[in-house]
Copies of this chain bind each other. A is one copy, B any other.
Amino acid sequence: MVFKRKDLLGTRDLTADEIRNLLASANSFLEIAERPLKKVPALRGKTVVNLFYEPSTRTRTSFEIAAKRLSADAINMSASTSSVVKGESLLDTVDNIQAMAPDIIVVRHRHVGAAHLIAGHIRASVVNAGDGANEHPTQALLDLLTISQHKSLESGLKVAIIGDIAHSRVARSNIWALTTLGITVRVCAPPTMLPREMEKIAGVEVCRTPEEALEGVDVVMMLRIQLERQDKLLFPSIRDYARIFGLNRQRLALAKADAIVMHPGPMNRGVEITSEVADSDRAVILNQVSNGVALRMAVLFLLGGQGS
C-alpha cells in the first residue's frame, strides 16, 4: 500500500489504483478515532506546516487533528500573521518554510495552481487543501470514502452534484476522482454557475434541472452557495435559488430510495438544502467530517512516512 508521489495536489491525475489505495489506508485509520487513546507514533519527529492563505476552520482543524494523532508537530501559519502583508512573494515565503525543514506543507490559497507552484519548488511534500476553484483533493477522497461505506464504488453508480459547479474545487476534485473510477457524474447548476468545459469530460452528464439530475441517482452532493460572494450576483435571489435548486424532501424522492445525501459544509440551511433533508438519516454529512480526519491521517502518513 505505497503511495509513490511526493505530493497530493489534485485528484485529476490520480489513477484508480492510487485512489483505491488511499481509501484503503484511510479505512485503517478510521478505527483510531474510536480508541480511548487516539494517537499513534507514526509521524513522531515529523513537522507538518498548515499554511492557510484563506480563512478556514474545519479543514485546518481536520489536518491539525490528523497530524497530532499521528504524533507529528503541527505548526499553523495563517495569512493574517504572515509575511504576505510585508509584500513577500509566495515562493520566497515557501522557500523560508522549506529552510526550516518541514516534512509536509498543507496549503490553501485563493489562486489556482498555488499548491502546484509550491510543490514544484520545494523538497517537502505538499498537500493541496484548496487552490482557488481548482482542486481540493482530500475533500473528494473523504467523499469517496463516505460513499464507499454505503455503496460500491464502481461503474453503474450515479452521483448528482448540484450547485455552484463553476466556483467549486470540491465539485472539480470529485468529478475527476469519480469519473476515474468509472462512476457517472451528473452536474446541475444555474447557467452562470456552470463551466462550459463540463460537457466535454467523459463520464459527466450535464442536466438542465435538478429533477433531471436527481432521477434515480445513488448519491446526491449539494454544493454550498457562497453567500459571502453574492455581490457578484450569479443568481437573482437566494430565495429563488433555494426554490429551484435547493434539495428538499420532494426532490430527494426522485433519487433512489437508498440514496445518500452529502454536503461539504458549512451548510446554508434553507438555501441549498432544507433542514429536514440535512438532518434526515439519508444525510451522511457528519460522516464526511469524521472520515475527513482518517483520510487526512492516511495522506499525511503516506507522504510523511516515506522519509523515515
Binding site for B on A (CB under 8 A): 33-39, 44-47, 49, 55-58, 60-62, 64-65, 68-69, 73, 75, 77-78, 80-83, 85-89, 92-93, 95-102, 227-228, 265-269, 286-287, 289-290, 292-293, 307-308
> Would B81 and A73 count as touching, CB distance under 8 A?
no
Chain B residues near A268 (CB, 8 Å)? 87
> Would A65 and B57 count as touching, CB distance under 8 A?
no
> Would A77 and B55 count as touching, CB distance under 8 A?
no
Kindly identify which residue among B81, B99, B307 contacts A56, using a CB–CB cutoff of 8 Å: B81
| A303 vs chain B, min Cβ distance (A) | 14
Known: A68-B73, A99-B287. A85 touches B39 (CB 8 A): no
| A122 vs chain B, min Cβ distance (A) | 11
| A18 vs chain B, min Cβ distance (A) | 24
> Would A289 and B100 count as touching, CB distance under 8 A?
yes
7 A-B pairs with the lowest CB-CB distances in the bound complex, closest first: A37-B45, A99-B289, A88-B266, A39-B45, A33-B101, A36-B308, A68-B73
| A80 vs chain B, min Cβ distance (A) | 8
What is the bound-complex CA distance between A163 and B89, given in angstroms?
21
| A26 vs chain B, min Cβ distance (A) | 14
What is the bound-complex CA distance between A148 and B38, given in angstroms?
37
**Closest B residue by C-beta to A68:** B73
| A139 vs chain B, min Cβ distance (A) | 13
Known: A64-B75, A96-B289. A83 touches B101 (CB 8 A): no
> Would B75 and A267 count as touching, CB distance under 8 A?
no
| A72 vs chain B, min Cβ distance (A) | 10
